[in-house]
Structure 1
Amino acid sequence: MLSSRMEQALNDQVNAELYSAYLYLAMAAYFSEQNLEGFTHWMNMQSQEELTHAMKFYAFINERGGRNTLKTIEAPPATWDSPTAVFQAVLEHEQKVTSLINGLVDMALAEKDHATNIFLQWFVTEQVEEEASVNAVLQKLKLLGGDSGGMFMIDRELAARNSACPCAQPTP
């Protein structure tokens, strides 16, 4: 059984994951307006992945006898200065999510909630992968500067991303 403090923290994480999905969907819309279909596809996949993460937390709360309490999801930004600015924002956002996950792990350890700690380890590993994949794209974008030919090469590369989650893949 979850403590009330842990239950609240996990519910907050459901909200954070749903915000992440909403943020990446807003970024997909931005890229769609720029006619960067590969970037749009990548962000749609990222949004779907974040929805899957939210549902993992949601299901875990249920499995542990907790109560899911859904809250309002904050509106994300709608525009950015450039694709590089978008990926810089994604990296910063993923670093924030990593901090949130680490805080949950710290709480689980302090409460000696071993089941929650074990559950969270998947997310710890996932965040390492998230930050690395976003940083790889960001570094390529920084190397390009303003080279439009290189931008189209990256767009093609991002269009090839396959979803890691079992959910339906939206089309770009």
Structure 2
Amino acid sequence: MLSPAIQEALNKQINHEFYSSYFYLSVSGYFESLNLQGFSHWMRLQSQEEREHGMRLLDHLHDRNGHATFEAIAQPPIEFQSPVEAFQQALQHEDYVTQTINRFYELALQEKDYAMQVELQWFVSEQVEEEKQARQILDQLKRLGDQGTALYLLDKELGERENDD
């Protein structure tokens, strides 16, 4: 059975994950407006992945007889100054999500909710990968620049990303 504190934290994390999906969809639209189809594709898949994370948590909530309390999803940013800035914001966002998951994990430890701890361990590991990917692409953009042939090649590479299922 979920404690009230765990149920509340779980609902908040679900909201964070759905916001993340919105955020990446917004960034995808930005790249679409620049005709950077590969970047847009990468961000769209990232959006889909974040939605799946939210659904995973929602399933966990339901599996444990919890009650979902859906909150409004905040509007994500829609304008970015450059591809570098878009990925800087993506990395900052992933850092924020990592912090929310870590705080949630601390709560699960305090509440001695072992099932929640196991579920959150998957998310802790996933966040390492999320931050790594965003950081690597940001580093490439900074090194290569966000115009010209290098940008075209990186766009082509990102367009080859497959669904991570």
What TM-score, normalized by structure 1, do the two folds share? 0.94
Unaligned runs of 5+ in 2: none
Aligned residue in 1 for 2:45? 45
* Pair 1:163 & 2:141 matched: no
Q: State the alpha-carbon separation in 1 of the partners of residues 86 and 146 from structure 2.
A: 15
- Tell me how far 1:147 sits from its aligned partner: 4.2
Partner Cα separation in structure 2 for residue 98 and residue 146 of structure 1: 27
C-alpha deviations, 1:99-133, integer Å up to 9, x for none?
00001110000111111000100000000000001
Residue 21 of structure 2: aligned partner = 21
Higher mean displacement: 140-149 or 67-76? 140-149
Unaligned runs of 5+ in 1: 166-172
Q: Residue 149 of structure 2 corresponds to which residue in structure 1?
A: 149
**Shift of residue 145 of structure 1?**
2.6
Matched, 1:136 2:136: yes
- Work out the percentage of aligned pairs sharing the same amino acid: 44
Match of 2:111 in 1: 111
User: Cα RMSD between the aligned structures?
Assistant: 0.7
Deviation per CA, 1:32-91: give whole Å up to 9, x if none. 000000000000000000000000010000011110110100001111000000000000
3-state SS of 1:39 partner: helix
Task: Check the 8 A contact 2:145/2:151 in 1, yes or no.
Answer: no
